[in-house]
Amino acid sequence: MAHSRPEGGRGNLALRLGSACVLAPPVIFAVYAGFPWYEGVVAIVVALMVWEWTRVCGARAAMVSGLILAAAVLGSCLAISAAMPQVAAATAAAAAVILAGVQLRRGISEAVIFSCGGLAIISCAAALLWLRTGAEAGRELVFGLLCAVWCTDTGAFFVGRAVGGPRLAPRVSPAKTWAGLCGGIVGAAACGWIWSRLAGFGSHGWAMACGAMIALLAQAGDLAVSAVKRRYGVKDSSGLIPGHGGVLDRVDGMLLTAPAVVLAVVILDGA
């Protein structure tokens, strides 16, 4: 996920904008078109996230761990497609335990980090699939989530660069600032207001509050991934996306936000 980096200059910004212009249209089309395009994009993104996560963590028996994680993602998503959320949850939990066991020889902390990251990826994949295919007005919900995270990213980047100021988490991600966080929250709240007007869901104040909460969760996911990368001495999850790093660097804001939106939808539907 993007954040306020003072370094990089115009060249880095041009790379970021160029990559966004290339990648955003296929994602938008896939969300709009639905099956099979949406499922295909989610599958590609999640497969790359699995590969990058094992790469970042330097996971022991990386191929075995990656295959277990990929199989768990597939199993959970198939269960969601078959309207069996309990099976999806059980698959994710079992995978987390197995992954922790595989990594245990590296130490308890390394095992916990890898399995928690794997669980986050599984949950994110299943949530994105359920939101589009299982929720009422799923297309609008996915568009709203994506736009809120993107606005968080954009607001944090530009406000952080323009204002600077105290660092948000200097030991984890020195480039992030409190000003950038505020810019991201304002951007996501504004996105929520626009989304509520266009989609016709809920009150504008409720939508703005949801946007602000998404911004906070997106930043938390970003910081969590940054902390793991710093622990293992890795700058980017990969070099697949010029100006952004890897896929995981780009979508880390979705790791917490997508499951949170699913939880909110389920609670509101049951209320």
Number of structural domains found in the chain: 2
Q: How many CA atoms lie within 13 A of 188 on its CB side?
A: 29
Domain finish residue from 77, 111, 134 = 134
Query: Do 153 and 126 fall into the same domain?
Result: no
Query: Do 194 and 262 fall into the same domain?
Result: yes
Query: Do 144 and 262 fall into the same domain?
Result: yes
Q: Is residue 79, in this structure, part of any structural domain at all?
A: yes
Query: Do 91 and 209 fall into the same domain?
Result: no
Q: Is residue 80, in this structure, part of any structural domain at all?
A: yes
The rounded distance, in Å, linking the Cα atoms of 243 and 20 is 9
Q: Is residue 144, in this structure, part of any structural domain at all?
A: yes
Residue 220: the pLDDT is 95
Q: Which domain holds residue 66?
A: 34-134
Domain finish residue from 118, 134, 150 = 134
Q: Is residue 53, in this structure, part of any structural domain at all?
A: yes
Query: Do 182 and 271 fall into the same domain?
Result: yes
Query: Do 116 and 243 fall into the same domain?
Result: no
Residue 203: the pLDDT is 78
Place of tokens 């917490």: 256
Query: Do 142 and 264 fall into the same domain?
Result: yes
Q: DSSP assignment, residue 241?
A: B
- Sequence-separated (6 or more) residues with CB below 8 Å from residue 48: 238, 240, 246, 247, 248
Query: Do 94 and 208 fall into the same domain?
Result: no
Contact 40, 30 (CB under 8 A): yes
Query: Do 97 and 179 fall into the same domain?
Result: no
Sequential pLDDT tens for the chain (271 residues): 544 444 444 547 788 788 888 889 999 999 999 999 999 999 999 999 999 999 898 866 677 888 889 999 999 999 998 888 889 999 999 999 998 888 888 888 988 999 999 999 999 999 999 999 887 888 999 999 999 999 999 999 899 889 989 999 888 888 899 999 999 999 999 999 999 888 877 678 889 999 999 999 999 999 999 999 999 998 889 888 887 889 999 999 999 999 999 998 888 876 4
- Torsion sign across C-alpha atoms 200, 201, 207, 213: negative
Query: Do 153 and 120 fall into the same domain?
Result: no
Token output for 95? 């995978």
Query: Do 190 and 270 fall into the same domain?
Result: yes
Q: Is the pTM of this model over 0.85?
A: yes
Query: Do 49 and 157 fall into the same domain?
Result: no
Residue 3: the pLDDT is 46
Token output for 49? 């996230």
> Nearest 5°: phi and psi at 167?
-80, 145
Q: Is residue 2, in this structure, part of any structural domain at all?
A: no
Domain finish residue from 81, 107, 134 = 134
